[in-house]
Structure formats: structure tokens, C-alpha cells
């Protein structure tokens, strides 16, 4: 499994940097976003360092599916009962800031409508 010692999300996955984790298993970690854009704002990351969604390979298909299913489970557990949004920013034009694949899970009163 690939790991980048300079990647903040790899360091969170390795336990080197603290995070408010809400889920952890052999492949995925989920934690609260430190700059939430919604009442519920979680990040789901794979333990494996995959820089962007565009770098995912066919062997990652099950992992990507697990991320989507985990998003639904965590959104419900954290009170996003009326719906939620999932976002994967990819590359500079896609707004990606941390180059480790991650899925935003946002719920609550539609904060993305603010602009």
C-alpha cells in the first residue's frame, strides 16, 4: 500500500496527526473537516495514497464503492436525515487542495446554496 510521508492525509491515516475520526477500518478513515462548510462535514479517505480520482485504477473499484456506501451510513449517523451531498474535487481546476483522494460528505440546511 502506497504512503506519502509528506501528505497530511497519509499522516492522519498513520496516526501521526490527530483528527476527529468518526470511522476507521482496514481501508478507509473518516473524520470531521477542520473547516466545515455545513453542519455535517466529513471527509472519507482511503489509507492508500491515491493522489486524485483521476489516478484511481480498476483495482480501486471496490474501494470507491465502499467510500460511497460509507458516506450514506455516516451522513445518517451524523443527522443528515433530510439529504446530503458528496463531492470529490479532482485536480487544480476541480478545486482539489490536498492531493490525496478524499470524499466530502456534507449535510444539513443546504449550505452550498450560499454561493
Give the angle 66-113-99 at the CA atoms, nearest 5°: 45
Sign of the dihedral through C-alpha 31, 36, 39, 41: negative
Contacts from 32-37 at CB under 8 Å and sequence distance 24+? 33/104, 37/104, 37/106, 37/111, 37/112
The set of catalytic residues is 102
Partner residues linked to 46 by β-bridges: 28
Distance, in Å, from the CA atom of 100 to the CA atom of 112, rounded to the nearest integer, reads 23
Residue 105's SS3 state is strand
Amino acid at each position: 500500500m502506497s504512503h506519502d510521508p509528506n501528505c497530511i492525509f497519509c499522516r492522519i491515516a498513520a496516526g501521526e496527526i490527530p483528527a476527529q475520526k468518526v470511522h476507521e477500518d482496514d481501508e478507509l478513515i473518516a473524520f470531521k473537516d477542520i473547516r466545515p462548510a455545513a453542519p455535517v462535514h466529513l471527509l472519507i479517505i482511503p489509507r492508500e495514497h491515491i493522489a486524485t480520482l483521476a489516478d484511481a485504477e480498476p483495482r480501486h473499484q471496490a474501494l470507491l464503492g465502499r467510500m460511497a456506501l460509507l458516506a450514506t451510513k455516516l451522513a445518517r449517523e451524523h443527522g443528515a436525515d433530510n439529504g446530503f451531498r458528496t463531492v470529490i474535487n479532482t485536480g487544480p481546476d476541480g478545486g482539489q487542495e490536498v492531493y490525496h483522494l478524499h470524499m466530502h460528505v456534507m449535510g444539513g440546511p443546504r449550505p452550498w446554496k450560499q454561493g
